[in-house]
Structure 1
Amino acid sequence: MTSWLKDAFDKPKPVIAMLHLSPLPGDTLYDSAAGMQKVVERARRELHALQDGGVDGILISNEFSLPYLTKTEPITAVSMARVIGELVDEITIPYGVNVLWDGRASIDLAMATGAQYVREIFTGVYASDFGLWNTNVGEVARHRHRIGADHVKLLFNIVPESAKYLAERDLESLTRSTVFATLPDALCVSGLTAGAPTDTQTLSIAKTAAGDVPVFVNTGVRAHNVADQLAVADGAVVGTYFKKDGIFENEVDGTRVRELVAAADDFRKSL
């Protein structure tokens, strides 16, 4: 199943950069005085900083829609579609979308905007910072098929941030059953929160149990550890490290992007 990565990206073990959109209409922190144009302008600056820095893909998310909903309001995906529509002609690399924390809305947005992949929580029941959190992967998978979005790849976050899986199951058995029963296109392994390190041993357990399904390291990738992480994982999703001073709220810093991509490229030359 790793063949889709080869088809989608120019390099092995791709580095996918998060493009975190500013708070959107309906969000508690939305700047209604500045309006959507400010959201678009920041997204444009960060898109070009990431692309110019050499990342292999982009994942566009409403990361600043805090506190998150597990079933989003329509205005969120609609606003994200507005931003992507204004930027799509400037996107030169594969891109995906993530409407936090709503798998169905993520697939709808991908279908509407031409995105090639989505990342979301598609399986499990959790006690989370956002309350009791349930999913229905069968319903979402059927929805994807019904709207003609089978080409949209689903990246399952197997270790959700800010949440604990309610069933007492170890990561190995959880990964094996997820791969067998729910047909993910890839798995993402995370730390506790955005930017938190992902334990390499945890990553190795998931990679071994996933078989042919690609596994991405989803948080905590930095220039100094990207080689170690990619030695295990099939790719990396990077957000916080690319920000100025490595601070989640800041804008993307092109120097940090180039630094991490260079470290990743040095490792990938040996493959």
Structure 2
Amino acid sequence: MNLNKSIIGMVHVQALPGTPRNKFSIAEICEIAAQEAKQYESAGLDGIIIENMHDVPYLKGSVGPEITAAMAVVAKAVRDAVKLPLGIQILAGANKEALAVAKAANFQFIRAEGFVFGHVADEGYFDACAGELMRYRKSIGAEDILVFTDIKKKHSSHAITSDVDIAETAHAAEFFLSDGVIVTGSSTGKAVYLHELKSLKDIVHGPVLIGSGITAENLSEYWDYSSAFIVGSHFKEDGYWENPVSEERLRRFMETVAQLRN
């Protein structure tokens, strides 16, 4: 997968069966996800990632077989709908399940939480998972699926690693075979701290992705410091992640991208 100032659109999969906010059938959930993916492809995005963000409150570190199965069906529907590179995240921290779905549905990457160092998220304490996850990738023959890893991730307290800065965390992730590190703001839709992003410039040898807070208005500030930009909330009506995709916001954002690329 080529990450050269790539724009990756986020499909927030509707709440799955068995979760508190579920109201759609699997067929309806697939249809909604596939339609969003088609909108992103038509707008000229470079990739798409799907995520079960509506499944609040999230489980920690793993999910039930019903969620893995449902995400696999949704992933297949999205794969059939578009030709773009695809990725998946299964919340919260269900990284092995995400790899399994990616393998089954011919996806190109996953987004993994809790890869190196421990942290406290709103779901509770997450321990590092790199050793187990990368061995699992090897065991299922999924080495061609890239593992992009959050560092100092959003919705989390990092007090227990306050003496380890973001650059050291990124270096550790690369040492543990991360295929790219993801930097985020404090929560969904919040912008990345630019000084933290700049600190990675001479530390990280692989791709640096921005995973939250990118808008048409601030994209130029971050353009020189990231290989790819995962955008979700900004593409939605009123900039709120639960709303439908806004064609106008998509158009304006991609016009900004075209200007920066030229």
TM-score range, shorter chain: over 0.9
CA–CA separation in structure 1 for the residues paired with 2:239 and 2:200: 27
CA contact (8 A) 1:54 1:258 kept: no
Answering whether residue 64 of structure 2 is matched by residue 39 of structure 1, we say no
Query: In the alignment, is residue 62 of structure 1 matched against residue 55 of structure 2?
Result: no
Matches within 5 A, 1:1-271: 8-9=1-2, 12-31=4-23, 34-70=24-60, 71-100=62-91, 101-121=93-113, 122-165=115-158, 166-168=160-162, 169-180=164-175, 182-210=176-204, 212-269=205-262
For structure 2, which runs of at least 5 residues remain unmatched after alignment? none
Query: TM-score by structure 2 length?
Result: 0.94
Provide the C-alpha distance between the structure 2 equivalents of 1:26 and 1:193, rounded to a whole number of angstroms. 26
- For residues 78-118 of structure 1, the C-alpha deviation after alignment (integer angstroms, 9 at most, x for no partner) is 10111122332221211111111211111111101000001
Give the 4+ runs in structure 1 shifted more than 3 A: none
Deviation at 1:206, TM superposition (A): 2.5
Q: What is the Cα deviation at residue 123 of structure 1?
A: 2.1
Identity %: 26
Measure how far apart 1:38 and its partner are.
2.1
Contact map agreement 2:75 2:101 (CA 8 A) in 1: no
Instruction: Render the CA deviation track for 1:206-234: whole Å, top value 9, x for unaligned.
Output: 23321x21101110000011122121111
Shift of 1:200: 1.2
Q: Contact between 2:99 and 2:110, CA under 8 Å: does it hold in 1?
A: yes
Aligned-partner SS, 2:203:
helix
- Please give the alpha-carbon distance, in whole angstroms, between the structure 2 residues aligned to 1:184 and 1:86: 28
CA contact (8 A) 1:243 1:251 kept: yes
Query: Matched residue pairs, number?
Result: 257
Q: Find the counterpart in structure 2 of residue 4 from structure 1.
A: none
Q: 1:136: Cα distance to partner? A: 2.0
Q: Once the two structures are superposed, what CA deviation does each residue of 1:174-232 show, in whole Å capped at 9, x if it has no partner?
A: 2222222x11110000011111111111111123321x211011100000111221211
TM norm structure 1: 0.91
Equivalent residues of 1:50, 1:254 under 8 A apart: no
Q: Secondary structure at the match of 2:251?
A: helix
| C-alpha distance in 2 between matches for 1:207 and 1:186 | 13
Distance of 1:46 and 1:202 partners within structure 2: 32
2:217 is paired with a residue whose SS is coil
Task: Tell me, in whole angstroms, the C-alpha distance in 1 between the residues paired with 2:244 and 2:6.
Answer: 22
Maintained 8 Å contact 1:55/1:257: no
Which residue identity lines up with residue 42 of structure 2 in the other structure? D
Structure 1 residue runs without a partner (length 5+):
1-7
CA distance, structure 2, for counterparts of residue 55 and residue 87 of structure 1: 15
Confirm or deny: 8 A CA contact 2:99 2:137 kept in the other structure: yes
Contact 1:175 1:206 (C-alpha < 8 Å) held by counterparts: yes
Q: Does the residue aligned with 2:9 lie in a helix, a strand or coil?
A: strand
| Deviation of the 1:240 alpha carbon | 0.3
How far residue 37 of structure 1 moved from its aligned partner, in angstroms, is 2.2
What letter matches 1:264 in structure 2?
V
Q: Displacement of 1:257 after TM fit? A: 1.2
